[in-house]
Amino acid sequence: MSTTIESVLHETRLFPPSEEFKAQAAISGMEAYKALCAKAEADYEGFWAELARENVVWQQPFTVTLDESGAPFYKWFSDGKLNASYNCLDKNVEAGLGDKTAIIFEADGGEVSKVTYKELLARVSQFANALKSLGVQKGDRVVIYLPMSVEGVIAMQACARIGATHSVVFGGFSAHALRDRIEDAGAVLVITADEQCRGGRNMPLKPAVDEAIGLGGCGSIRNVIVFKRTGGPVEWAEGRDLWWHDVVAGQPLECEPEWVDAEHPLFLLYTSGSTGKPKGVQHSTGGYLLHSIVTMKWTFDIKPTDVYWCTADIGWITGHTYVTYGPLACGATEVVFEGVPTYPDAGRFWRMIQDHKVSVFYTAPTAIRSLIKLAGAHPELHPGKFDLSSLRLLGTVGEPINPEAWMWFHEAVGGSRCPIADTWWQTETGGHMITPLPGVTPTVPGSCTLPLPGIMAAIVDETGHDVEWGKGGLLVVKKPWPSMIRTIWNDPDRFRKSYFPEDLGGKLYLAGDGSVRDPETGYFTIMGRIDDVLNVSGHRLGTMEIESALVAHPLVAEAAVVGKPHDVKGEAVVAYVVLKRARPTGDEAKEIVKQLRDWVGHEIGPIAKPDEIRFGDNLPKTRSGKIMRRLLRALAKGEEITQDVSTLENPAILDQLNEAVK
Ligand code: PRX
C-alpha cells in the first residue's frame, strides 16, 4: 500500500460544511442527502425519471425510463427525443439569459474575450449550418483536434446540434494516435487549428492532421476545417482543407436542432485500457446530459451568480461534462482558458480567479502539487498574495489527492472556508459518482467520501461479493445509471468483458479501481488502478500502449512499462527495455534513451514519454514466459526485492534492471 493511501486511512481531520454554506446549498444537510438516497433505493427508476423530467427539456417526453432487456447494454429514456445543444443554448436564451456571459475566454497571452449565450447560440448555429453544407449528417463522426478555445466548445455544440457524433482528440496526442482514432471512428471530417499556443510558444497542430491522414487508414475523411489561431504557416490540400472563417461566411445564424433519440451517441471519447488499443467510449445524449446537469447542481451547487471555472481541456472527459455541456446546460458563466498553469508564471490560476471573480474552481491534484512547489520557490506567486475572496467552492478530479496537497488547497486557496469536492469518476461514468456534497458531507483530506444519491457504488471481492468496510476490494457500481458508457465503439464484446466481467456475475460495473471504505463513516478512499493503466498527471495511459510504441522502434526487442510514485505527477512512467543488440551503457545508453523517449512522444504524445528507461539483456519472466510486473514495480520504486524469485527463469538480470540510465 502506498504511503499516501495509508496516510488517508489514518486521517482524522474532519471538515464539516459551514452553516452558512449549508443554508444556501442545493442539497442541504446529511438528512436531505439520506432522504434522496432512500428515495433512489425505494424507487430507482422513478427517482431518475423525476430528475430527467425536471432538468432536461425533451422535445418528445420519454415513457420508458430504464430498458434492461439488452443488459449490460442499458438504455435510458429511450423513447424520448431531445437535443443537447438546445438544452445548453436555446433553452437559456428563451429563459431570458441571452445577454448573460456564457464564456469568459482567457488566451495563453492573457487576452480576454467574452461570449454571451445569444452570441454563442448564433455562432454554434452558424457553424452547424457550415457542417451541414459540407454534407455532415446525423450519426456521422467528426473528429475535433483543437486547442482550448471558444471554437472548441462551438465545434462540439455544433455537432450535437445536427446529431453528428463528435470525438475530441486531445491536442497533445501525436499524429499516430490521431490516425488510430480517426480510423476507428470512421470520421468524415476533422476540425483543427493551424497552431496551438502553450506557455508562450506556438506549436503546430494542422501538420499532425496532414501526417495522420498521410499514414493511411483515414479514407473516410472528406474535409479538414482549420481554425486560424495564430496565422502560422500551414500546408494546404486543395479541395479537402477549408478555413473555418470561410466555411461559416454567409451561413445563417439560425439552425433548427436535430431532435435525436435519448440513446443517440452524443460523442465518442477514446481512453486507455489494459490492452494496447484505446477504447472508444460511447456516450448517450439524454442520460449523459441529465447527469451533467444534476451534478453541476449537486456537487458544484451552481447558482445563477456563480463564475465557474473548470481548468480541464476539452480533450478529456472532464472538459466534456464540466466545460462544454454541464455549465452551459445550467446557464452558468464559465471561464475557459488556453495555456498552462505555469505561464506567464505560477500565479496564472490565482490571478485569473482574482480577475474574473471565480467562485467555483475545479482543477487537478497534479496542477495543485506543481503550484505548491513553485509557490515555495517564488513566494510572490503564493495564492495568499492574490485576492481569492470570490471563491466559495473548490473541486479536484482525475487522481487521488494526497492529504498535504488537499490541506494546501483548503487553506492557501480556499481560505479555510471553501468546501472541497474530491470527485471520483471516469471517462466511462460520464460524470461524478463518488464525491462530497458541499452542503452535506464533512470532508476528510484524500477521501472522495460518499456516492451521489442514485449511484450504487460498492466494494466487492474477486467473486463479486461485498467486502466489509475497512477491507480493500474492487470498486463496482451495482445498478446502471443514466450517464454510463453505452458501449465501446466497434467492440461490444470488449465492453462486456471489460466492464461487466463474468467473474463478478456479469451484472456489476467494474470500475477498474481498488478502494476501501472507512470502517466507521463508510467513506470511500480510492487506492488506484487494479489493471495496467497508469495515471500520469491525471492522464490515463495504458502500459501496453507505451510498450507497443516502444517495440515498434527498430532497435527494441521487448519492453515492459510500469508506474512509480511521483511527487508532482502522481505516477511516473518507467520502461524496461531489451534491445535487439547488446545492452547499451554510458553515453550510448543516454543517446538511445533520448531516441526512445522522442519516439514514444511521436507515436502517442509527449504525455506518454517514459520518465525513466532501464536496459536489460532480458526481462524477469516466470518459466512459463510471463513478465513479472510486480517485481518490476518494486524495482522501479527502489524497494528491496523480498519476494521469492526462485521461479524466475533468469534472476541475474534483476541487478541490470536496477540501474536507471542517468
Ligand atoms: O483511477 C481513477 C482516477 O482516474 C481514473 C479515470 O480516469 P479518466 O477516465 O481519465 O477520467 C479522469 C477524470 C474523471 C479512475 O479510474 N481518478 C479519477 N478521479 C479520482 C481518481 N482517483 C482518485 N480520486 C479521484 N477523485
Give percent above pLDDT 70 in the chain.
Answer: 99
> Whose Cα sits closest to atom 12 in ligand 1?
398
pLDDT at residue 4 in the model: 65
> Whose Cα sits closest to atom 3 in ligand 1?
399
**At 431, is the pLDDT very low, low, confident or very high (cuts 50, 70, 90)?**
very high
604 in a domain, yes or no?
yes
Residue 172 above 50 pLDDT?
yes
Distance CA 35, CA 454 (A): 11
Distance CA 593, CA 586 (A): 11
- Give 58 Cα–ligand 1 centroid separation in angstroms: 31
Q: 517 has which bridge partners?
A: 524
Q: Which domain holds residue 603?
A: 537-657
275 is in an annotated binding site: no
Q: Among positive and negative, which fits the CA dihedral 632, 556, 573, 658?
A: positive
- Give 524 Cα–ligand 1 centroid separation in angstroms: 13
Whole-prediction pTM value? 0.96
Q: Tell me: the pLDDT tens digits for 379-420?
A: 999 999 999 999 999 999 999 999 999 999 999 999 999 999
Q: 578 has which bridge partners?
A: 558
Residue 653 above 90 pLDDT?
no
| Nine-digit cell string for 231 | 496565422
Distance CA 106, CA 341 (A): 12
647 in a domain, yes or no?
yes
CATH number at residue 642: 3.30.300.30
240 in a domain, yes or no?
no
Block residue for cell numbers 533520448: 594
Q: Evaluate: CB of 281 within 6 angstroms of ligand 1.
A: no
398 is in an annotated binding site: yes
- Give 167 Cα–ligand 1 centroid separation in angstroms: 20
131 in a domain, yes or no?
no
Atom of ligand 1 nearest to the CA of 425: 14
- Report the domain count for the chain: 1
Amino acid present at 570 = G
State how far the alpha carbon of 174 is from the alpha carbons of 310, 411, 599, in Å: 25, 38, 11
Q: Tell me: the pLDDT tens digits for 107-158?
A: 999 999 999 999 999 999 999 999 999 999 999 999 999 999 999 999 999 9
Residue 330 above 60 pLDDT?
yes
424 is in an annotated binding site: yes
Block residue for cell numbers 510514485: 565
Distance CA 591, CA 554 (A): 15
| Nine-digit cell string for 623 | 518459466
576 in a domain, yes or no?
yes
> Rg (Cα) of the chain, in Å, rounded?
24
- Give 539 Cα–ligand 1 centroid separation in angstroms: 9
91 in a domain, yes or no?
no
Beta strands in 239-299 (DSSP E): 241-243, 260-261, 267-271, 279-283
DSSP classification of residue 324: I
Q: Evaluate: CB of 93 within 6 angstroms of ligand 1.
A: no
> Whose Cα sits closest to atom 14 in ligand 1?
426
105 in a domain, yes or no?
no
Q: What angle do CA 193, 198, 201 make, to 5 degrees?
A: 95
Can you tell me the mean pLDDT for 504-526? Answer: 97
- Give 178 Cα–ligand 1 centroid separation in angstroms: 23
> Whose Cα sits closest to atom 24 in ligand 1?
400
Closest CA to 544 of 554, 529, 555: 529
214 in a domain, yes or no?
no
